[in-house]
């Protein structure tokens, strides 16, 4: 199935990804990881919840952590352009036979909660509480110095159909991996904000969240984080990298939080603003697609992910397998 032509006039206007809600089993341990180690800034804290933002972000939060009995993912959030887009988004999801409900959330204006056809919980909003700028308050730059949330990557049991659905919402494909034997998509990277991706979908048991990613200033910040993690009890939480992806050209590191949620630290991808930019095709057998240089991805990187609350993942129909490290 070929990559669909971009939908340049979608039914509603998504600006960018916005936030992820993680459920965690030990809020104090999660705080030590996300705040003291990665360097995210606390914007609100209670006995059972923690809200965080990165250094360039003016919105109240990009991650919320909630104490729970089970570690999973509550919702993925996206910012829309203007108030009419909320009603248009509701009409779109209802037309697909998908549930919609208006909810009230702390620090946010009217919020539309829905899901995609495979069960990934999604929410859309226009207004989030604005906080004072931090980007030149350099005394707060700690850890890996995270600047902003960059993207979500999800396991999908049917990448072709998932790409078609998100294409209908206006996400444009920048790069993709195709299985040479079947011609089916094994993975795809799709954007709204003009980078390589806001969302990506990888063939696997899904839906599950593979990772959330944060953009950092330079590769040297990633090296600093590795030194910090190696000397503060987190060496076992380093899963993959550092290295450079072929797809996206990004310098990367993957780490796991205390509950196993995967976080990518990421920089150096490229601009994709032009609406007629052609997507780049990669073969599944090309060893440089996932790692331009660096150690190959471990088996855990292909198999493990965070489940969405109350969603049972399904096995993928496509059984093709990329190169996996021994």
Is the distance from CB of 301 to CB of 240 less than 8 angstroms? yes
Domain boundary among 68, 93, 127: 127
Closest among 166, 258, 152 to 196, alpha carbons compared = 152
What angle (nearest 5°) sits at the alpha carbon of residue 103, between those of residues 97 and 108?
125
Residue-averaged pLDDT of the chain:
96
In a domain, 73, yes or no: yes
Claim to verify: residue 81 and residue 172 sit in the same structural domain: no
Tell how strand 63-67 and strand 14-24 pair up: parallel
pLDDT at 317: 87
Q: DSSP secondary-structure letter at 96?
A: T
Q: What angle do CA 77, 221, 130 make, to 5 degrees?
A: 35
pLDDT-derived band of residue 200, with 50, 70 and 90 as boundaries?
very high
Q: How far from the centroid of its chain's Cα atoms is residue 276's Cα?
A: 24
Q: Among 127, 156, 175, which residue terminates a domain? A: 127
Compute the average pLDDT of residues 218-242.
Answer: 97
Query: How does residue 324 score in pLDDT terms, banded at 50, 70 and 90?
Result: low
Distance CA 28, CA 68 (A): 12
Answer whether residue 324 is part of any domain.
no
The pLDDT tens digits of the residues spanning 19-64 come to 999 999 999 999 999 999 999 999 999 999 999 999 999 999 999 9
Mean pLDDT over residues 2-31, rounded? 97
Domain range for 69 is 14-127
Query: Alpha carbon of 245 to those of 113, 145, 314: distances in Å?
Result: 33, 21, 27
pLDDT at 287: 84
Question: Is residue 152 domain-shared with residue 123, that is, in the same domain?
Answer: no
Q: Please give the model's pTM, rounded to 2 decimal places.
A: 0.97
Query: Do 27 and 117 belong to one domain?
Result: yes
Q: What letter does residue 321 receive in the DSSP assignment?
A: -
Q: What is the DSSP string of 139-185?
A: GG--TT---EEEEEEEEES-HHHHHHHHHHTT-EEEEEEE-TTT--E
Residue 323 pLDDT greater than 80, yes or no: no
CA distance 304 to 183: 25
φ/ψ (deg, to 5) at 128: -130, 145
From 65-74, 131-140, 218-227, 312-321, the region with the lowest mean pLDDT:
312-321
Report the chain's terminal Cα–Cα distance, integer Å.
31
Does position 325 have pLDDT exceeding 70, yes or no? Answer: no
Q: Where residue 77 falls among pLDDT bands split at 50, 70, 90? A: very high
Count CB-CB contacts under 10 A for residue 245: 24
CATH number at residue 110: 3.10.180.10
- pLDDT digit string (tens) for 243-283? 999 999 999 999 999 999 999 999 999 999 999 999 999 99
Instruction: Give residues with Cβ within 8 angstroms of 221, minimum separation 6.
Output: 144, 145, 265, 267
Question: Contact, 116 vs 98, CB < 8 A?
Answer: yes
Q: Are residues 238 and 195 in the same domain?
A: yes
Question: Are 88 and 160 contained in the same domain?
Answer: no
Q: What is the per-residue pLDDT for 296? A: 87
- The structural domain count of the chain equals 2
Q: Let me know if residue 7 belongs to a domain.
A: no
Give the separation between CA 268 and CA 282, rounded to whole angstroms. Answer: 19
- What span, in angstroms and rounded, lies between the C-alpha atoms of 166 and 191? 10
Please state whether beta strands 148-156 and 199-203 pair in parallel, antiparallel, or not at all (unpaired): parallel
User: Within this chain, do residues 54 and 157 fall inside the same structural domain, yes or no?
Assistant: no
Same domain, 193 and 83: no
d(CA 246, CA 168) in angstroms, rounded, equals: 27
């Amino acid at each position: 199935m070929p990559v669909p032509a971009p939908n340049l006039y979608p039914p509603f206007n998504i600006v960018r990804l916005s936030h992820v809600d993680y459920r965690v089993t030990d809020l104090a341990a999660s705080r030590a990881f996300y705040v003291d180690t990665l360097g995210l800034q606390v914007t609100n804290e209670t006995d059972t919840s923690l809200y965080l933002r990165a250094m360039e972000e003016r919105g109240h939060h990009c991650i919320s952590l909630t104490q729970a009995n089970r570690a999973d993912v509550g919702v993925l959030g996206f910012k829309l352009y203007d108030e009419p887009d909320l009603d248009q988004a509701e009409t779109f999801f209802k037309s697909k036979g998908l549930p919609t409900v208006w909810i009230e959330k702390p620090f946010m204006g009217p919020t539309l909660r829905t899901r995609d056809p495979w069960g990934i919980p999604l929410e859309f909003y226009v207004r989030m509480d604005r906080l004072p700028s931090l980007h030149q308050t350099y005394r707060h730059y700690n850890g890996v110095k995270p600047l902003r949330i960059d993207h979500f990557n999800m396991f999908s049991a049917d990448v072709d159909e998932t790409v078609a659905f998100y294409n209908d919402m206006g996400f444009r494909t920048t790069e993709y991996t195709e299985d040479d034997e079947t011609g089916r998509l094994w993975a795809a990277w799709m954007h709204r904000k003009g980078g390589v991706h806001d969302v990506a979908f990888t063939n696997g048991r899904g839906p599950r969240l593979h990772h959330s990613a944060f953009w950092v200033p330079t590769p040297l910040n990633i090296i600093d984080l590795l030194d910090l993690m190696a000397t503060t009890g987190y060496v076992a939480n380093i899963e993959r990298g550092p290295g450079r992806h072929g797809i996206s050209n990004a310098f990367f590191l993957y780490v796991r939080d205390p509950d196993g949620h995967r976080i990518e630290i990421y920089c150096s991808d490229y601009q994709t603003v032009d609406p007629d930019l052609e997507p780049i095709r990669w073969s599944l057998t090309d060893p440089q697609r996932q790692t331009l240089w660096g150690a190959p991805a471990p088996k855990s990187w292909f198999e493990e992910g965070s489940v969405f609350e109350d969603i049972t993942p399904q096995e993928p129909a496509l059984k093709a397998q990329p190169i996996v490290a021994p």
